[in-house]
Amino acid sequence: MVVHLEVSGKIAKDLVKAIENINEECVWSFDSEGLHIMMSDVYKYKMLDINIASSDMVSYSCDNPVELGIVIDRIKDVTKTLKTKDLLMINYQEGKGYITLKSNGLSRSVKLIDINMVGKIPSLMEAETSLANGYSATVDSAPLGSFLKAASKAISFDVTTNLGNLCFSSETEEGLVEVEYLENDIVLKPLDYSSETNYAVSEVSSATSTMNGLVRVRGSEGGIIELMWNLAENSYVRAMIAPRV
């Protein structure tokens, strides 16, 4: 059984950045569709669901599904030298205790870890039920990213839905910081959903470190918030963060 993939430096760097802000260890699952990663932080406060589709890779082959235990710092040692237009090649052969990374003429073996040593991921059933009964909207990530930076010294922020509007607001030492997506600019579903839930700024910021473009936001009163964006045309990152208690 062999896994081979070749991806752009941009995808590789975004992948590592997203992971390192959550946990140093995770499981990479390969199958015929591509690479899938489901992981959480140590305290199970935030989770990431990452999918890199084979169609967004320069080349890809996987003749049998396999799960590999990864320590992300060992990958970062290679990706930190990449430029966005560089290519990164990753190879794995069955029975080997390592993967091989190649880029710009440099080859490096990266030792794997036992997947049983990686922390278990919480069940998504409760989270999905909460989200299914809550609200959803697609927004431009730029104002939201600016808001998180402006509120970076604050402990928390509120997400409020009311009359078709979606608002992110935080009381900082410098005063109120907020970004409001009005009903004229977004489609909030359901339109009459009303809620106000508090989240930790640091947790949401770290979980959305690669956020860009359009972002699907889902949430519910007192429940988790989900933010989902594309890494490439058919690849995505889905971040889920628990409310602050």
The domain spans of the chain are 2-117, 125-241
* Superfamily for domain range 125-241: DNA Polymerase III, subunit A, domain 2 (3.10.150.10)
b/e code 191-218 from CB counts within 10 Å (16+ = b): eebebebebbbebbbbbbbbbeeebebb
The predicted pLDDT at position 6 comes to 98
Residue 113 DSSP class: B
Give, for 21, the enclosing helix (H) or strand (E).
Answer: none
Instruction: Print pLDDT tens along the chain (245 aa).
Output: 799 999 999 999 999 999 999 999 999 999 999 999 999 999 999 999 999 999 999 999 999 999 999 999 999 989 998 998 999 999 999 989 999 999 988 899 999 999 998 988 877 777 788 899 999 999 999 999 999 999 999 999 999 999 999 999 999 998 999 999 999 999 999 999 999 999 999 999 999 999 999 999 999 999 999 999 999 999 999 999 999 98
The tokens describing 90, both together, are 């990753």
Task: Give φ, ψ of 75 to 5 degrees.
Answer: -80, -40
How many residues in total does the chain contain?
245
Alpha carbon distance 95, 2 (integer Å): 10
Do 182 and 165 touch, CB atoms closer than 8 A?
yes
d(CA 90, CA 188): 41
Report d(CA 165, CA 194) in Å as an integer.
9
Residue given tokens 């084979």 in the structure block: 54
Judged on CB neighbours under 10 Å (0-12, 13-18, 19+), 106 is exposed
Rounded to a whole number, what is the largest CA-CA distance in the chain? 58
| CATH number at 2-117 | 3.70.10.10
Query: So what's the pLDDT on residue 130?
Result: 81
